[in-house]
Amino acid sequence: MTIAGIYRTQKRNLKEIEQVMENLLKTNHTTLHQAAVDLLRAGGKRIRPILVMLSAEFGNPNHEDVKKAAVTLELIHMASLVHDDVVDNANLRRGKKTVKATWDNRVAMYTGDYIFAHSIEHMTGVHLPYAHQLVSKAIRDISLGEIEQIRHLYNVDQHLRHYLLRIKRKTALLIALSCQLGALTAGCSHDIVRKLYYFGYFIGMSYQIIDDILDFVGTEKQLGKPAGSDLKQGNITLPTLFALSIPDVRQRVVSCFESNNEQADWDGAIQLVKQSGGIEYAESINERYLAKALNILKSLPQNQVTENLRKIAKYLGKRKY
């Protein structure tokens, strides 16, 4: 089955999930309503719900808790993006103006709070105390990831482990949780739940590394925002981290960071990072996570579900935009 085919099999589920989200976020408050509608329409790949649904197929995917988990996770993701755009001072996401850009930081703050609140409330419909613990821990970790990102902005002396911990918290944990909760709410065995958690964790790491590579090699049209945004904002991702080990490149990046204004030769620094071997280095780390993800799948029952997860992993880990 192709990726399009997998999405087709989940079309009805995804539609239902979208509908639930729309109903939940309905409000007669004009600004809030518009912000929520814009966010829902902006869409995205809905990777978290897809992973919840696919993972659930190792058990009973029709259990009512499965979709509740899917809705909860997508809402948490959505809320965290809105707050993240405040932290990153980002005006564009997926080619659309962000909430903070359309309105302001205050609106973005309360819109995020409102969506977060709904996600937590929706989750209370799931009658598995352990699942609640997992979700609340994930929310805490995401908030820590956001904070860590700010903390390490412009820090050219950080280590690989700082980067990895950051993307784990920022991205990988919620994707891991999607697989884990899909299996858990569908009543899968402890062993399958645990393996799917790791599968999700590895593809989540891969997903963010690819994202960070694309920020350098993608076009503005593909990215929906200017290329090199991460570097310009002082967000040191894997390609830059590698490039900083080369004295000449390091000097140019530091000089940009220190001037930190429009006059800095950002394009020059971005080119240097791209030519430093940093992209290839990041790709090699990505390959390692992807291999780990595929490896885990080998230990699961071999059926159509495993096959679909394999396709999703390769699709996410090799995507070009």
Q: What angle do CA 184, 167, 288 make, to 5 degrees?
A: 80
Binding status of residue 132 toward a second copy by CB under 8 A: yes
Tokens encoding 71: 């809705």
Least distance in angstroms from the C-beta of 312 to a second copy: 28
The residue among 112 and 200 lying less far from a second copy, judged by its C-beta, is: 112
Tokens encoding 150: 């700010």
Binding status of residue 117 toward a second copy by CB under 8 A: yes
Ranges within 67-86 binding a second copy (CB under 8 A) = 83, 86
For residue 91, CA distances in Å to 95, 185, 216 come to 9, 37, 18
- Select the residue interacting with a second copy from 25, 78, 123, 164 (CB under 8 A): 123
Q: Residues with Cβ < 8 Å from 200, sequence gap 6 or more? A: 51, 55, 172, 175, 176, 177, 178, 179, 180
- Select the residue interacting with a second copy from 121, 220, 258, 307 (CB under 8 A): 121
The residue among 123 and 269 lying less far from a second copy, judged by its C-beta, is: 123
- Select the residue interacting with a second copy from 8, 11, 94, 137 (CB under 8 A): 137
The residue among 15 and 106 lying less far from a second copy, judged by its C-beta, is: 106
- Select the residue interacting with a second copy from 3, 14, 42, 87 (CB under 8 A): 87
For residue 191, CA distances in Å to 178, 180, 183, 198 come to 16, 11, 10, 11
The residue among 9 and 233 lying less far from a second copy, judged by its C-beta, is: 233
Binding status of residue 285 toward a second copy by CB under 8 A: no
Give the span between the Cα atoms of 33 and 68, in whole angstroms. Answer: 22
Give the span between the Cα atoms of 65 and 182, in whole angstroms. Answer: 9
Binding status of residue 124 toward a second copy by CB under 8 A: yes
Least distance in angstroms from the C-beta of 122 to a second copy: 8
Least distance in angstroms from the C-beta of 123 to a second copy: 7
Closest by Cα among 205, 225, 204 to 73:
204
- Select the residue interacting with a second copy from 8, 140, 159, 318 (CB under 8 A): 140
Sites of contact with a second copy (CB under 8 A): 27, 29, 31-32, 83, 86-87, 105-106, 109-110, 113-114, 116-118, 120-121, 123-124, 127, 129, 132-133, 136-137, 139-140, 142-144, 146-148, 150-151
